[in-house]
Structure 1
Amino acid sequence: MTGDLSVLNYAVVIVLCAFTAFLSHMGMAVFHDGLRPVVPEYIEGRMKRSELGTIAFGLSVGFIASVGIAHTVATGLLNPWLLFLTTDILGVISPKKWVAPILGGIWGALTLSALGLINTVLTGLPVNFIGAMGEISNPVVSCFALFPLVAIFMQFHAKKGIAATIVTFAIRILLVRFTTLSADAMEMFVGIVFLVAFAVAEDRKRGKTMDEDEQNVFSERTARIRKNVVFLMIGGALIAVACNIHVFGGSEVSIYTLAKAYTSTDAATASGLIHQAALAEFMRALGFIPLIATTAITTGVYGVAGFTFVYCVGYLMPNPVFAAIGGAAVILVEVLLLGLVGKFLGKFPSIRDASDNIRTAMTTVMEFALIIGSINAVVKMGGYTGFFIAAMIYFINEMTGKRIMKMAIGPVAAIATGVILNILYYVGLFVPVK
């Protein structure tokens, strides 16, 4: 965690940020899904670098300032929105390829240093700031398990959505009552099976396939990604190492669970939480394959973390060496299979089309979970005085045009509430909840 800094932590984060900035500058890989389709416009001479930089900044600055900072302050772990969205920008705006890694490395050093200092300050406050922030994570895993069902409602409407929900709920009840298996994991699995089955049935019914022009574009773009595979493998290795040394959480579905694991004093509990985080991350990666694969094979620009399975590898490997080897190997396998993934998505366009619904569904359930968790946190901090402060921050944001995105408003409100309650304590107007 950022509160326990070491030479290894700094070295990994600095090199990781330097390298991802280089990948962005060279147009090999970027993190932001919305930036990926724009990069070929510059590579093929239809856009200036300054224009691409403006687009990258506009797409990413809101996520960096809200989601990136909020999740990291709340957990003490770095995250891809904070690191990789920034290195996307730094790489794109760098005039020379040697400038990009310098700027990226500086960002990595500054980020790790500043957040370590912030974490130290927050742990010494009279109102239980950091301890209460741990409440944010409690609803996350259970709520995330619902995303396939939400996606089914979005794409296939109420009848199929209700049917899938009833079956999934029945399976959950039986698992909880008669087994010790993870009901949340089985929920996700069953939901994804239903989603894929409905998509395949839809395509067979309508006879939908990909046309020849689309297949040719896929082949050309995939060849460009394969040419850069060594660089992409290095990036995957560095990301897996960052996950393994406990300074980095891959996404909102795992970062809060990891934060609890890394602060647990019981080894068995910590190991269980890490495996739970890896499973949630794995299921998230499965859901994002259509989105990431489609944008990659149609643009020739890969994702910095690939399909994001490298996060799972980093969490589970026994040491950084194995994490590096595993991370590189995962990216290699992904790239080698990219052509097959493209052909599969071509046979079943409804699965490809489901990527937008999957992404939206994941965002929706995580927004809900983070709001619930954040309310739990502020009540733990300051009772219903804390609830009043956080609720008004939320509603002010809603009434003024959602200046802070919904994914971040819960943690941001919780952080702001903690700051306000501590200020009230120091001026003698608030007594911490016991």
Structure 2
Amino acid sequence: MEFSLLKLILVAGLTALTALLSYYGRAVFHDGIRPIMPEFIEGRMKRPELASISFGLSVGFIASVGIAFTLSTKLLNPWLLFLPTDILGVFASRAWLAALLGGAWGIAVVSGLTAVQSVFGVFPIDFIGALGELSSPVLAGFALFPILAITYQFGWKKGAFSGVVVLLVRQLIEQGWILPKDFKLLPEAGELFVGTLLLVMFALIRDRGRDSSEMGEERSLFEERTQRIRKGLPLFAVTGALIAVIANLGYFAGSEVSIFTLQKAYSASDLSQEQALIQQAALADFLRGIGFIPLIVTTALTTGVYGVVGLTFIFPIAYLSPNPFIAAIGGALMITLEILLLSKVGKVLEKFPSLREASDSIRTAITNIMEIALLLGSVLAVLKMGQFTGFSIFVALYAINEALGRPVIRLAASPLAAILTGLILNILYLLQLFTPAAG
């Protein structure tokens, strides 16, 4: 994670804005905090109490997912930047203080983690480089999440059928049988597209003939709370623009499903491979965004509090934009359009209950697939660092976390255990208790 003044300014400006959105109660990043915000907005909860709850809900994710993913990939992520600004925004008693604290956090992250990366770079055993192995299983594994989602929602028969179709498509793409030779498409991208298409098709077939006319009396409340979000449109537009710019510049990844793919893309030596991987990351974040639409839209309509990254479609726009200027325009327009269409999206979700239900299956499938992929990737990383000595240390750390009831969630436990394994191996090396294999 290289230091640059531009990165420092952009990230500090972004975290200042997200802290302001939290201060005004317009948006937060943490899905668990959003339903609590109306208690504060409507005067039933004081700032210190809300800040305390926000800290309790977020600190584990900041320390595990946020830090572990950034150390593993050298890319900033939303958990590291936006969970702290959720806390700082509701903690601050004045708007200027929220902006100041948020900006200071951005500066601390960029300068502090750059220093940490530099220190780790002089260690005798290069465990940061070995962490690049995390990305390979993630690339291959994530493409299979639609099969798991179909199995959860529609049963094993449709899941097995989808698995056969998706894997067949993969092999046809890999062998170059269904696409022109000059058309670059990763097999995993084809798997993702076909699997998601099957999931949507099964959902629409189930919804045929259903009558779903609910929530009529609640629409006036939804409209009132949507209007509250719309009042923050200028802040949202600038925030969306800044998010898109730092993602386009290669400083930031939007989610757990794209961060390792982007890391591999930015380290690729071949331009065509880099572009293919960036397209894969954009598709992954786009499909993940689809899975989160019902959750984000429903909580926004019922609470009057939006997400600081909106429906997350800013990220695919940012990755695919030809330059930061276009990315800024696209990011600002995307989040503005989302907010203006919130009520209409809510009405569409009412008409297609199976699509609503599919979002739960998608989120569960993504989480489970990512846990498995990151576990396998972490095993490859620790084997590269320290062969079976590294593997033994890693297994011990991972098992302790499981035995303690998972104080670190599984999604972050594997990369964090891999980082700690690297540190322990370096200590053992300095104590002359470990010698890495030659070559």
Normalising by the smaller structure, the TM-score range is over 0.9
> What code does the residue aligned with 2:65 have?
V
Shift of 1:123: 1.9
| Secondary structure of the corresponding residue to residue 37 of structure 1 | helix
Q: How does 1:4-403 map to 2 (within 5 A)?
A: 4-177=2-175, 178-179=177-178, 181-204=185-208, 206-403=210-407
Most deviating of 296-305 and 10-19: 296-305
| Secondary structure of the corresponding residue to residue 247 of structure 1 | coil
> What code does the residue aligned with 2:151 have?
F
Most deviating of 276-285 and 159-168: 159-168
Cα deviations by residue, 1:3-49 (Å, 9 ceiling, x for unpaired)? x2111110001111111000011111111111111111211222222
Superposed CA RMSD: 1.7
Q: Could you tell me whether the CA contact under 8 Å between 1:126 and 1:432 is conserved in 2? A: no
Give ranges in structure 1 of 5+ residues lacking alignment: none
Q: Could you tell me whether the CA contact under 8 Å between 2:64 and 2:416 is conserved in 1? A: yes
Q: Could you tell me whether the CA contact under 8 Å between 1:136 and 1:256 is conserved in 2? A: yes
Q: Distance in 1 between matches of 2:379 and 2:127?
A: 13
Number of residue pairs matched?
A: 432
| Secondary structure of the corresponding residue to residue 155 of structure 2 | helix
Q: Distance in 1 between matches of 2:405 and 2:270?
A: 44
> What code does the residue aligned with 1:34 have?
G
Q: Distance in 2 between matches of 1:182 and 1:266?
A: 14
Q: Distance in 1 between matches of 2:363 and 2:189?
A: 18
Shift of 1:103: 0.7
Q: Distance in 2 between matches of 1:130 and 1:229?
A: 40
Most deviating of 378-387 and 282-291: 282-291
Cα deviations by residue, 1:151-202 (Å, 9 ceiling, x for unpaired)? 2222223233223223323333333332454322222222222222333333
Q: Distance in 1 between matches of 2:355 and 2:294?
A: 7
Q: Distance in 1 between matches of 2:309 and 2:255?
A: 11
Paired position in structure 1 for 2:182: none
Most deviating of 12-21 and 120-129: 120-129
Shift of 1:377: 0.4
Cα deviations by residue, 1:248-279 (Å, 9 ceiling, x for unpaired)? 11111111222222233443333332222222
Q: Normalising to structure 1: TM-score of the pair? A: 0.95
Q: Distance in 1 between matches of 2:217 and 2:353?
A: 15
Q: Distance in 2 between matches of 1:221 and 1:175?
A: 47
Q: Distance in 1 between matches of 2:36 and 2:207?
A: 29
Most deviating of 33-42 and 192-201: 192-201
Paired position in structure 1 for 2:429: 425
Q: Distance in 2 between matches of 1:175 and 1:262?
A: 24
Q: Could you tell me whether the CA contact under 8 Å between 1:209 and 1:349 is conserved in 2? A: no
Q: Distance in 2 between matches of 1:264 and 1:124?
A: 23
Q: Distance in 1 between matches of 2:231 and 2:356?
A: 25
Shift of 1:107: 0.8
Most deviating of 212-221 and 16-25: 212-221
Q: Distance in 2 between matches of 1:320 and 1:206?
A: 45
Q: Distance in 1 between matches of 2:115 and 2:37?
A: 36
Q: Could you tell me whether the CA contact under 8 Å between 2:15 and 2:85 is conserved in 1? A: yes
Q: Could you tell me whether the CA contact under 8 Å between 2:188 and 2:280 is conserved in 1? A: no
Shift of 1:398: 0.8
> What code does the residue aligned with 1:25 have?
Y
Q: Could you tell me whether the CA contact under 8 Å between 1:363 and 1:407 is conserved in 2? A: yes
Q: Could you tell me whether the CA contact under 8 Å between 1:137 and 1:256 is conserved in 2? A: yes
Shift of 1:206: 4.7
| Secondary structure of the corresponding residue to residue 321 of structure 1 | helix
Shift of 1:239: 0.6
Paired position in structure 2 for 1:411: 415
Q: Could you tell me whether the CA contact under 8 Å between 2:237 and 2:333 is conserved in 1? A: yes
Q: Distance in 2 between matches of 1:135 and 1:173?
A: 24
Q: Could you tell me whether the CA contact under 8 Å between 2:371 and 2:410 is conserved in 1? A: yes
| Secondary structure of the corresponding residue to residue 138 of structure 1 | helix
Most deviating of 389-398 and 208-217: 208-217
Q: Could you tell me whether the CA contact under 8 Å between 1:209 and 1:348 is conserved in 2? A: no
Q: Distance in 2 between matches of 1:203 and 1:213?
A: 23
1:120–1:398 CA distance, 2 compared to 1 (3 A) = same
Cα deviations by residue, 1:374-415 (Å, 9 ceiling, x for unpaired)? 000000111111111111111111112111110011101110
1:391–1:185 CA distance, 2 compared to 1 (3 A) = same
Q: Could you tell me whether the CA contact under 8 Å between 2:246 and 2:252 is conserved in 1? A: yes
Q: Could you tell me whether the CA contact under 8 Å between 1:210 and 1:347 is conserved in 2? A: no
